[in-house]
Structure 1
Amino acid sequence: MKRTSTAIIAAIALTAMLGTPLGAQGTQLSGTIAERFGQQIVVTTPEGRLLVTLPEGAEVPGEGARVSLDGTRDGDTFAATALTVTGTAEARPVALPQPLSGLGLTDIRIRPDDDGETYIYARLPGGGWLRAEARGDRLIEVQSDIVGLPESLVAAMLPEAARAEPRFADIARLTEIELDEGEISVEGYAADGMRIEIEFGRNGDLRDYERERDDRRSLSDAAARERLEALGYTQIGFLERGGRDVEALALNPFGDQVEVRLDDQGRVERERLWTQ
């Protein structure tokens, strides 16, 4: 009788072991959200950082939020079945070059580069997105997609002589300013849709002027956004049109922040991970 009971207990234990994936443990954990990638988050715990997959449809808290999770752990990954926010996210200051401060920018995304430059993407209050490139605390390039650059930003980056140049007044929507060694380049569109490019010296004296028809074959802004959404991309940010390509910052269907390029037929030509 004793042998029979022992055999039954051993069978029950073996069944329980077979029903649980090797290395996986049902458990609870708590920590602070360090990063977000769609429905996945990285949580910092006293034991280290874990990649957590949230339940489908769960609302993703912001970075800095303190959370408690139920689920299954397997090594450095955690499949959550329940999430509770135990503390609100603390606002983290974002360092911006001075000309960008006070513009009311939202959805700010910053990426330092290996060459010492920083790329900044943000939503403008009047609609559309801004892309900026900085070297240290000095802006060297700014672009906007569907709206013109804010007047206060233009005044901060262009000398008064350049802004007073009569040809500069031809630009109804200024979309780009670039500060190169020894010169300033601006680009925008006239009221009739013609594209205008002007080059100034650093003191604002006129160097070159060009006005041409916008004959780019790339998808329009609206068509590119519609196509990206159809392909499963979300949170589509700054969008830049080239001769036949469109590049955009977005989340891909896996929840990764990427730079994606579409050709003039709406096909994905390249996708590259965008790290923050």
Structure 2
Amino acid sequence: MTLTLAMALVAPLAAPVAAQETQLSGTVAEVFGTQMVLTTSDGRLLVTLPEGTAAPAPGTALTLTGTRTGDTFAAATLSAGTAAPVADEATLPAPLRGLGLSDIRTRRDDDGDVYLYARTATGWLRAEARGDRLHEVQGDGAGLPPDLIAAMLPAPARDEPRLTEIARMTEIEVDDDGEISVEGFAADGMRIEMEFARDGVLQGFERETDDRRSMTEAAARDRLAALGYRDVGFVERGGRHVTAIATNPSGDVVEVRLDDQGRVERERLWLN
């Protein structure tokens, strides 16, 4: 990529803006000589590297200090960092603490609900919460961590004999009345849904063939890689589509959806 093309990514300033010492974090999108384009939560910035500093590879997460003038940044120092704010475990809802989560990414909506993605020891999870109360958790890979399941289900639900038929639990949802829905898969691949009252007493049980026509999780990850996406996190299968959090070829963290043929149906920016 040429310097001229890179500068086209930076909108010209209408008037001079006073430079100020500041810090920012982002992901390297493109590198050319002593400059790079950095994708941050505020957009893409043209960054000049400190003199004598080796250029980091595209995709590298950095934290920089330096002087920002409009949409350009003169870096004084840079170090390995994270491209998006990482939640402190102490700020997470209680059931999510102590699980060894990493690569935590959160987003808050206008109603105060928090949407969270994080890596577990065996895959990724997605959660929706308000304050310390989890509304919903979903897991891919090996499913939800056992300690999280134990924290979210009342003792009568955990002791329900039919719960043992679920070999891989993928979702727990708690509605506003405290009633609990559980979804997962039996060892033979059958899909299981269970409903519990707020006190954990079983109210419904359903077992059916998994008839989803969407790509498998593994196939979706391979397809996203072939399309130029990287850092693929949580992957959710729907009836005919797959939705994933990933970094697109331009270096933006996005939520991307593939149809059952592996074509991109939708992509939208994941805002922190």
**Structure 1 and Structure 2 fold alike (TM over 0.5):** yes
Q: 1:221 to 1:53 in 2, by over 3 A?
A: farther
In the other structure, the counterpart of 2:46 is 52
Partner amino acid, structure 2, of 1:170: E
Residue matched to 2:221: 225
Give unmatched runs, 5+ long, in structure 2: 1-7, 31-37, 49-54
Q: CA deviation at 1:88?
A: 7.4
Q: The residue matched to 2:127 in structure 1 has which SS?
A: strand
Give the letter for the 1:155 counterpart: A
Letter in 1 for 2:65: V
| Aligned residues of 2:93 and 2:129 also touching (Cα < 8 A) | yes
Partner of 2:143: 148
**1:113 maps to which residue?**
109
Amino acid at match of 1:152: D
Contact 2:213-2:260 at 8 Å conserved across structures: yes
Name the SS of the counterpart of 1:197 in structure 2.
strand
What residue in structure 1 maps to residue 23 of structure 2?
Answer: 32
Partner residue in 1 for 2:71: 77
Q: Corresponding residue for 1:215?
A: 211
Task: Give the equivalent residue in structure 2 for 1:160.
Answer: 155
Is residue 243 from structure 1 mapped to residue 239 from structure 2 by the alignment? yes
Contact 1:238-1:248 at 8 Å conserved across structures: yes
2:166 to 162, 171, 177: 171
Question: What CA deviation, in whole Å up to 9, does each residue of 1:64-89 have, x standing for no partner?
Answer: x34358xxx9x622277xx6636776
Counterpart position of 1:8: none
Which residue is 1:10 aligned to? none
- Please say if residues 32 and 43 of structure 1, whose CA atoms lie closer than 8 Å, have aligned partners that are also in contact: no
Q: Residue type matched to 1:275 in 2?
A: L
Give the direction of change, closer, same or farther, for the CA distance of 1:115–1:193 in structure 2 (3 Å limit): same
Work out the CA distance in 2 between the residues paired with 1:247 and 1:93: 26
How far, CA to CA, are the matches of 1:275 and 1:86 in structure 2?
23
CA distance, structure 2, for counterparts of residue 134 and residue 92 of structure 1: 14
Could you list the runs of 5+ residues in structure 1 that have no partner in the other structure? 1-20
| Among 131, 135, 151, the residue aligned to 1:136 | 131
Q: 1:101 aligns with which of 97, 100, 104?
A: 97
* In structure 1, distance between residues paired with 2:200 and 2:136: 16
CA distance in 1, matches of 2:182, 2:103: 25
Superposition TM-score, scaled by structure 1 size: 0.77
Residue 268 of structure 2 aligns to a residue whose secondary structure is: strand
- 2:238 and 2:160 mapped to 1: Cα distance? 28
Query: How many percent identity over aligned positions?
Result: 54
- Deviation of 1:267 after TM superposition, in Å, equals 0.6
Deviation at 1:140, TM superposition (A): 1.2
Mark the structure with the bigger radius of gyration.
Answer: 1
Shift of 1:238: 0.3
Structure 1 counterpart of 2:34: none
Partner SS, residue 251 of structure 2: coil
**Does residue 65 of structure 2 align to residue 67 of structure 1?**
yes
Distance 1:88 1:186, change over 3 A: closer
CA RMSD of aligned residues (A): 3.2
Tell me the residue number matched to 1:200: 196
1:124 paired residue number: 120
What does the per-residue CA deviation read over 1:155-191, in whole Å, with 9 as the maximum and x for residues that have no partner?
Answer: 1110110111111111011111000133100001101
| Structure 1 residue 147 displacement after superposition | 1.1
**Change over 3 Å in CA distance of 1:33–1:43 after alignment to 2:** farther
> How does the TM-score come out when normalised to structure 2?
0.78
For residues 43 and 144 of structure 1, the distance between their equivalents in structure 2, rounded to whole angstroms, comes to 26
Q: Give the 3 Å change call, closer, same or farther, for CA 31–170 of structure 1 in structure 2.
A: same
Contact 2:28 2:57 in 1 (8 A): no
